[in-house]
Amino acid sequence: MPSVTRKPQAKRQERRERIERQLLDATDRLMGGGASFTELSVDRLATEAGISRASFYVYFEDKGHLLRRLADQVFGDLAAGAARWWSVAERHDPADARAAMTAIIAAFRRHQQLLVALNEMSAYDPQVGATYTDLITQIADRLAEVIESGRADGTIRAGLEPEPTATTLTWMVERACQQTLPGRPATYDADLANTLTQILWSTLYLESP
C-alpha cells in the first residue's frame, strides 16, 4: 500500500525548490543592483522573491542556511552546463567541450555576485566553505569519470591520474571565472571559453582541438 505521506512530502519538496529558485533569482537581482549579501535583510530578500518572512523561516534557519542552499542551485546550473560535454564525451568533439565552457561562463555571469559572496564567506564561515568545496568536488568527480573512460578507450593520455587531474582542472576553471569575469565586458566570455577549451583539450586528449 503506498504511503499516505508521500504526496504531501512531494508537494513540500516541490514548493521548497520553487521558493529556493525564487530566492536565487531575487538574490541575483538585488546583488546585481549593488547590494552585498551581508546587508540584505531577510525581509528584503523575501519581499523581492514574492514570499512572506514566515515562509522564509519555514524552509531556512537563517541567511547562512539560505546561502548554502543557493549554492546547490548555482552549482546545479554549472553542472548542467558542464554536462553539455560530459553527456556526449564519447564523441571526442572539442566543440562539445567549448559548448560546456560557454555554458559554465554564462552561469558564472548570471550568478556572479552570489558566487563572489560564496567565495568570500567560505573564508570565515566553515559551513559555507565546506559546502563550496563539496560542490566543486562533485563536479570534479564527474570529470574524473570522463577521464577514466577516455583512458580506457585510448583517447585520453594514459599517464593522467583521473582524480588529481579532474580536481586541478575543475579548480582552474572556477578560479579563471571567479578572478577574470568581474569587471570584464561580455565580449570577453568567448575568448575565455576558447582559452579554457584549448587548455582542457590539450591537457587531456592526444589530438589537438
Query: Which parts of the chain have pLDDT scores under 50?
Result: none
According to DSSP, the residues that pair with 44 across neighbouring strands are none
User: What are the cell numbers at 79?
Assistant: 553542472
Distance between CA atoms of residues 147 and 26, nearest Å: 37
Residue 81: closest CA among 126, 34, 31, 142: 142
pLDDT of res. 2:
54
Domains of the chain, CATH where assigned: 1-60 (1.10.10.60), 62-204 (1.10.357.10)
pLDDT of res. 164:
97
pLDDT of res. 122:
83
Tens digit of each residue's pLDDT (9 = 90 or more) over 120-134: 888 888 888 888 899
Distance between CA atoms of residues 29 and 24, nearest Å: 9
**Angstrom distances, CA of residue 41 to CA of 35, 47, 129:** 11, 10, 22
The model's pTM: 0.82
Distance between CA atoms of residues 85 and 92, nearest Å: 9
